[in-house]
Structure formats: structure tokens, C-alpha cells
Amino acid sequence: MRNLTKPSFPEVLADNRDIWLDDYLRNPSEHNRIKYRHPTIKKTLMEETNGKCAYCESKVGHNCPGDIEHKIPVDDRPDLLFNWDNLIISCTECNRRKGTYYDESCMFLDPNKDDVESRLQHIGPLVFNKPGDVRAEVTVRLLEIDRPDGRPYLMGRKYEKLENTRGLVKSIVRENNVILKAFLIQELEVQCSTTEEYSAMVKAYVDGLPPGWANQTASPMGAT
């Protein structure tokens, strides 16, 4: 999970949200409820998360189109059905696990408002809360990203990404050509950027490497 900056809401939402909400409150039909799924709204939300689930950082696309998720469930706050700050993109699996959870005294972490990067810690493909952070603990437990058996497909994909990162780090250590080493380091920096899948995990791994690791000589025990 990475910190996210909320973009300006699209014009179609600015022009219609009050009308849509009034229609829904008068007649809470499915037709009136789902107007937040307008293509322009979803496109802007996808750009906000760089095409990833805001929670697990899995890329969404044709096989997993991504859900427009309400941070605060509509059943609890129907007035926030079309509220821009309450909308975010998540994968179907995260959306399903979060479900209708809502507790004002222990809110689910919000990547737009909470410094999630400082409240979560990554150990391999698993994500844990920082000690004593109850909101973060509730979030990771609901999403089941703290157990290898909770979401095996997600964990498998993250482990594959981590293995690729480890391979790239080893290539950087072993490369003697200065120019090629610089290219490899640049590639690693991209993998740590917010645009990339599972970048919080990759960044945590790279940040945990010893100082000056890129210029160390590979040893028989391995550089990583």
C-alpha cells in the first residue's frame, strides 16, 4: 500500500453528483446507485492509483477490471455515495474482504489521508502493522495480507516479484561496467516507484540492503 494523492474530481461528477444523490435518496434503486461507475470517473480513479489496487497494489486490467470501492460503506453513509473523497479503486479480492466494515472508532486505513507507508511494514510478500497500531492491524487482517495462506495467489505473485528484484540486485553487484551498472540501478529505482506493482514491498527490500551494497563485491555466500 502506498500513499496516494487525490486528483481533482472529474467534471461529470462535479456536474451531476448532487442530482444523482437526490435521485438515489428518493429512489435507492440499483440504476440510481451505480452512476458512480461512469467511465470518466473510473478512468480518473485508475490514474490516481497508477492502475493498481489501492490496497494490495495488484495491477488491474482486463482479467481483473478493478472495482470502484467506497471507503465508508454506502449502507452506513448513503450521503457519501458520490463523494469524491470516498471513492477509490481496489481489486475485487480486496473489495470483497473489506466488505462493509465500518467502525468510527477504528477506521480502515485510507491511502489518501493516512501515512500508510509509515504504518505498515513489509517482510517478504507479507504486510504487517507497526506494533501498537490497531487501525493498521485491522486493515491487514481484513485484507488477509499478513498470512501466506490468506491469499495464496497474491502471495505467489508477490514472491515472484521479489525474486525478480533479488535477481536484479545480484546483477547490479556483479556488474563491473559502470554504464551498465547505472542502467541496472535505474531499473531498480523504477521498480521502487509508486507506478509499479507491489512497489512498497520492493522498496522495503531495497531499503533494507546494507549501505554501499551496489559497490560491494559478490561473495560465495551471495550478495543479498
Residue 61: its pLDDT value, please? 78
Residue 66: its pLDDT value, please? 86
What's the CA gap between 23 and 29, in Å, rounded? 9
Going by the DSSP 8-state scheme, the letter that residue 59 receives in this structure is: B
What's the CA gap between 82 and 150, in Å, rounded? 32
- The CA-atom distances, in angstroms, between 107 and each of 103, 126, 172 are 6, 21, 42
What's the CA gap between 11 and 169, in Å, rounded? 44
- The CA-atom distances, in angstroms, between 65 and each of 8, 60, 199 are 22, 5, 20
User: pLDDT truncated to tens, each residue of the chain (224 aa)?
Assistant: 999 999 999 999 999 999 999 999 999 999 999 999 999 999 999 999 999 999 999 999 755 778 999 999 999 999 999 999 999 999 999 999 999 999 999 999 999 999 999 999 999 999 999 999 999 999 999 999 999 998 999 999 999 999 999 999 999 999 999 999 999 999 999 999 999 999 999 999 999 999 989 887 654 434 44
Specify the DSSP element, H or E, that contains 20: helix 11-26
Residue 223: its pLDDT value, please? 43
Provide the whole-model pTM: 0.90
